[in-house]
Chains A and B, each alone.
Chain A
Amino acid sequence: MPSISLPVILASLGQVGSTVLYIALLTAVLEISLYLFFGKLLKHKHTIPIMLLTPAAVGLVLLVIYPILYEVALAFSNMSLRHFQNPTYGIIQGVNNFRTIFSQPVLKQANFFPIFLRTILWTVIQITCHVTFGLGLALLLNRKMVLRGLYRTLLIIPWAVPQVVATLAWRGEFNFEYGFINIFLRDLGLKPIQWKLHPFWNFVAVNITNIWLGIPFMMVILLGGLQSISHTYYEAADMDGAGPFSKFKNITLPLLKPIMTPAVVLGVIWTFNNFNVPYFINEYELETSDILVTALFRAAFEYNRFGFAAAFAFIIFFILLGFTLLYMKITKFDPGLEATRKKAA
């Protein structure tokens, strides 16, 4: 028997459809009242943009701003499974939460700083490998040759596979007996590796998986950047007698920077926040493979320390914010707002 039947189809359609209908109704009421208030009553000159912006704004307020404010409150509470209905809010609870993060184990044994350092190590390894291999492959693909399109398509495959599918497949391949890496090792006469039980090798396994997943994105973005660099620069450099290395350093890299900078910032944020890969590959929940985000998940949903987890989340957020601001300052990266500001002025 197939698992799908008419009642199943109707049930999901009904629930999702009614939700959409409610949202549409609420939006209509909102729009009409905005129109009457700003358009008819105040005769405001920005009535239309207000009407256009409000639905998205309401959505973002409800689902981003309100949860963040609520999280601030949670960080100053002792909410946990035991105190779910009647948590106490207060400065003492907040100070307690933040102090606990740095003074006691975040999980069962792992402390904050080892996890933090591991997260940095993880991000550095990943970004270095993604950019190096991505740039190398992009430089190779940026040449006239046969089969270029085929290579490009095949190399993008790790990006095209849904991340959950790829990660779970890798999790299977790290099986001691039947995973292909260990089979290769055995065929070569080497000792197979305990990918899931040994702390060091588990961390290596997590890294292998994510390097495999992340190279194509960098490669494609950098290839796009390389292709937009005009030939005339290189020809002019040739005339001046510039060597290959100085051309790479003085033409390719600077002209690639506007593309590379946002890609690297995005890459760092994604890697730092990557949940699926470290969570799935770490089948036996070794605390030695956890990064900050997975530790946060476990603190919240396995140990049910909600107030503590909320405080923990803020620490993670500020680390990330600090990094982004620093990076933007160092590379003088402007997220395209200069142009907007000029137009608006």
Chain B
Amino acid sequence: MKIKSFFRWFFFRAKGDSPFQRTVIHLVLIMACIIAVYPALRVFTVSIRPGNRILSTDLAIIPKDATFDSYRIVLFEKDFVRWLWNSLVITMATAAIGLILASTSAYAFSRWRFPGRTALLLFLLTTQMIPAAMLMVPIYILATKLGLINSWRGLVIAYSVSSVPFSIWILKGYYDTIPIELEQSAMIDGASRMQTFLRITLPLTAPALAIAFLFNFMTAWNDYLMARIILQQKEMLVWTLGLRHIQGQFQTQWGQFAAAALMVAVPVMTLFFYSSKWLISGLTLGAVKG
């Protein structure tokens, strides 16, 4: 194949690829898919191995003597469900707090022109640049001094604002697209500012609110670092710490780790695929439209 036709073939949405080109494209994509999926599939394989063959060099995807023993152990004999529950409660609470904080502030940024507005928006953008690892030392020491170590209270407070700046940017962009005339006509009809916001604007923003909530939720749900610093007692752990704890005893508990990992990952992945369109449009909305 000549270089030139290779480029045409590779870089453009050619109207008609030849059968040979199609074959090559599909082969490349199939290879890429195998690389993407195989490590995840391995977790499933290990999770259904029987206990006495957890450590095996067998590569079959479904082992001959498949069993759900690991799942039973993780669900009924370990602290796993408890860790998941802790995570769920903390994450829901913080995502809700974060959403309320962000939705009100974003509304102010979108509808009013007050002194210092641009500076504040720029400041929000800068906070995104601060590495989480940078804040961990002061937050750890402050939490120690305030007695918030080993409490979910500390974690809820720490998580609640972590994704607020990002949510404000997304929501502000979305509020900007809602015509102001809609609110003005409601106010002419006698609605108060508060009523207009709650009854007219918020319902119209529902898709963006969903993105922001999901983003808050995912940030807190997948966090390891902050939880690692604040929580130390075994019963209080969130799932990320718990999973690390199980994985630490690799030699004996690989199957249990795999079962637990799969049980966390599948709901999150479902949620992710269900919402990925929104998430991606939200990411580019904030970056492109501003």
Contact = CB atoms under 8 A, between A and B. Distances in A.
A91 interface: no
A38 to B, nearest CB: 12
A164 B289 contact: no
B89 interface: yes
Interface residues of A, number: 118
Contacts of B37: 154, 157
Interface stretch (B63-71, B205-213, B253-261): B253-261
B161 A145 contact: no
Contact of A172 (B32, B127, B257): B257
A279 to B, nearest CB: 9
A114 B73 CA distance: 45
Contacts of B222: 162-164
A67 interface: yes
Given A52-B107, A164-B224, A336-B289, A15 B151 contact: yes
A160 B284 contact: no
A12 B89 contact: yes
Interface in B64-93: 75-82, 85-86, 89-90, 93
B161 A59 contact: yes
Contacts of B225: 275-276, 297
A165 B261 CA distance: 6
A5 to B, nearest CB: 9
Contacts of B108: 48-49, 52-53
Contacts of A170: 39
Interface in A44-66: 46, 48-49, 52-53, 55-57, 59-60, 62-64, 66
Interface residues of B, number: 121
Contacts of A172: 46, 247, 250, 254, 257-258
Interface stretch (A16-24, A105-113, A199-207): A16-24
Contacts of A74: 137-138, 141
Interface in B113-149: 113-114, 117-118, 120-122, 125, 127-142
A175 B43 CA distance: 14
Interface string A147-172: 10001011111111111111011111
Given A143-B17, A168-B243, A231-B13, 9 more contacts: A4-B81, A68-B130, A145-B22, A159-B272, A248-B7, A316-B134, A336-B288, A338-B290, A340-B290
Interface of A: 1-4, 8-9, 12-13, 15-20, 23, 46, 48-49, 52-53, 55-57, 59-60, 62-64, 66-68, 70-71, 74, 79, 137, 139-145, 147, 151, 153-166, 168-173, 175, 177-178, 180, 183, 186, 212, 215-216, 220-221, 224, 231, 234, 243-245, 247-248, 252, 258-259, 262-263, 269, 272-273, 275-276, 280, 293, 296-297, 300-301, 306, 309-310, 313-314, 316-317, 320-321, 324, 335-341, 344
21 contacts: A2-B81, A12-B86, A16-B90, A16-B152, A20-B93, A139-B10, A140-B25, A155-B29, A168-B261, A172-B250, A172-B254, A180-B42, A212-B35, A244-B11, A248-B7, A263-B287, A314-B134, A320-B129, A320-B131, A344-B113, A344-B118
Interface of B: 4, 7-8, 10-14, 17, 22, 25-26, 28-29, 32-33, 35-40, 42-43, 46, 55-57, 59, 75-82, 85-86, 89-90, 93, 96-97, 100-102, 104-105, 107-109, 111-114, 117-118, 120-122, 125, 127-142, 151-153, 156-158, 160-162, 164-165, 168, 193, 221-222, 224-225, 229, 235, 240, 243-244, 247, 250, 254, 257-258, 261, 264-265, 268-269, 272-273, 276, 280, 283-284, 286-290
